[in-house]
C-alpha cells in the first residue's frame, strides 16, 4: 500500500512537471510560428513590391510605345487629310476648267454667227416698209443672241484707241497714222470677246505705226524754215 501511494505521488509530480513545461513549449512554438509568419510576410511584401515595380516599368514602356504609335497615326491622318483636301480641290478645279472649256468651245462656235449679224447690220439699209419690218425682226434676233451671250458671261472688247497688247489683240495690219501714236490700235477688224475675265477670242486689229516718215520730214523742214525766219527777224530788229 505504501509503495502504491509512493508511486501515485511520483506520477502526480511528473504530471505537474509536465504541465509546468507544456506552456513554455507552446509559447516557444507560437513564437516560432509568428516569426515565420513575419518572415513570410516580409518576403511576400518584397515580392509584391518587386512585381509592382516591374508592372509600373512595363506600363510606362507600354504607355511610351502607345504614345509613339498615337503620334505616328496622327501624322498619317494629317497627311491623308491634307492629300484628300488637295485632291478634292484639284478635282473641283479640273471640273471648273472643263466646264469653262466646254462653254468656251460652244461660244467660240457661235461667235462667227454674231459677226455675220453685225456685218449684215452695217450693210443693210432698208428703204421700203417691208424691208424695214424684216430689218426689225432681224435686229430682234440679234439682240436675243447678244443677251444670251451676256448671260453666259461674254463681254465684247473695246479696242480702238487702246495700246496694242498681244495678250488681247492680234495685229493684222500696221499703217502710219496722224491721229494715233505708234502701237495704238487704229481700227477693229474683228471684235474680240472676254469670258468671265478671260480671253474668249482675240481681237483682230489694225495698229498705228505713228506719223509717216514723209510727214515727219516735212514737219522737220517746216520747223527749220520757221527757225530761220525767226532768226532773220531777230537780226533785222537788232540792226
- Domain containing residue 182: CATH number: 2.30.22.10
Residue showing cell 426689225: 136
| pTM assigned to the model | 0.54
Q: Record the cell numbers describing residue 100, joined without a space.
A: 469653262
Note whether residue 229 is domain-resident.
yes
Note whether residue 98 is domain-resident.
no
Percent of the chain with pLDDT over 70: 70
Taking the C-alpha atoms of residue 65 and residue 62, their distance in angstroms, rounded to an integer, is 5
Domain of residue 204 covers 155-233
Note whether residue 4 is domain-resident.
no
Q: Are 216 and 224 in contact (CB under 8 A)?
A: no
Note whether residue 88 is domain-resident.
no
Residue (of 201, 204, 203) closest to 105 by Cα position: 201
Note whether residue 79 is domain-resident.
no
Note whether residue 174 is domain-resident.
yes
Q: Are 200 and 104 in contact (CB under 8 A)?
A: yes
Overall average pLDDT of the 147-165 stretch: 91
Overall average pLDDT of the 81-103 stretch: 88
Note whether residue 135 is domain-resident.
no
- Provide the CA 23 distance to its chain's centre, in angstroms: 95
**Residues 73-91: tens digit of each pLDDT:** 999 999 999 999 999 999 9
Taking the C-alpha atoms of residue 208 and residue 176, their distance in angstroms, rounded to an integer, is 6
Overall average pLDDT of the 101-116 stretch: 88
**Residues 164-180: tens digit of each pLDDT:** 999 999 999 999 988 88
Note whether residue 137 is domain-resident.
no
How many structural domains compose the chain?
1
Amino acid at each position: 500500500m505504501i509503495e502504491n501511494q509512493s508511486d501515485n505521488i511520483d506520477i502526480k509530480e511528473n504530471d505537474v512537471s509536465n504541465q509546468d513545461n507544456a506552456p513554455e513549449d507552446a509559447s516557444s512554438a507560437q513564437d516560432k510560428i509568428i516569426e515565420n509568419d513575419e518572415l513570410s510576410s516580409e518576403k511576400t511584401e518584397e515580392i509584391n513590391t518587386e512585381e509592382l515595380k516591374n508592372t509600373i516599368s512595363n506600363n510606362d514602356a507600354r504607355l511610351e510605345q502607345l504614345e509613339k504609335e498615337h503620334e505616328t497615326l496622327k501624322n498619317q491622318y494629317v497627311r491623308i487629310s491634307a492629300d484628300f483636301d488637295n485632291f478634292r480641290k484639284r478635282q473641283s478645279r479640273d471640273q471648273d476648267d472643263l466646264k469653262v472649256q466646254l462653254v468656251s468651245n460652244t461660244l467660240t462656235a457661235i461667235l462667227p454667227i454674231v459677226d455675220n449679224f453685225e456685218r449684215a447690220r452695217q450693210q443693210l439699209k432698208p428703204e421700203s416698209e417691208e424691208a424695214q419690218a424684216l430689218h426689225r425682226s432681224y435686229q430682234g434676233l440679234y439682240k436675243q443672241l447678244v443677251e444670251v451671250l451676256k448671260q453666259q458671261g461674254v463681254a465684247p472688247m473695246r479696242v480702238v484707241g487702246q495700246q496694242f497688247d498681244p495678250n488681247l489683240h492680234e495685229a493684222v495690219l500696221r499703217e502710219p497714222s496722224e491721229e494715233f501714236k505708234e502701237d495704238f490700235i487704229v481700227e477693229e477688224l474683228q471684235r474680240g470677246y472676254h469670258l468671265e475675265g478671260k480671253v474668249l477670242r482675240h481681237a483682230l486689229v489694225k495698229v498705228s505705226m505713228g506719223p509717216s516718215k514723209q510727214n515727219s520730214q516735212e514737219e522737220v523742214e517746216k520747223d527749220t524754215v520757221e527757225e530761220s525766219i525767226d532768226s532773220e527777224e531777230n537780226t533785222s530788229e537788232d540792226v
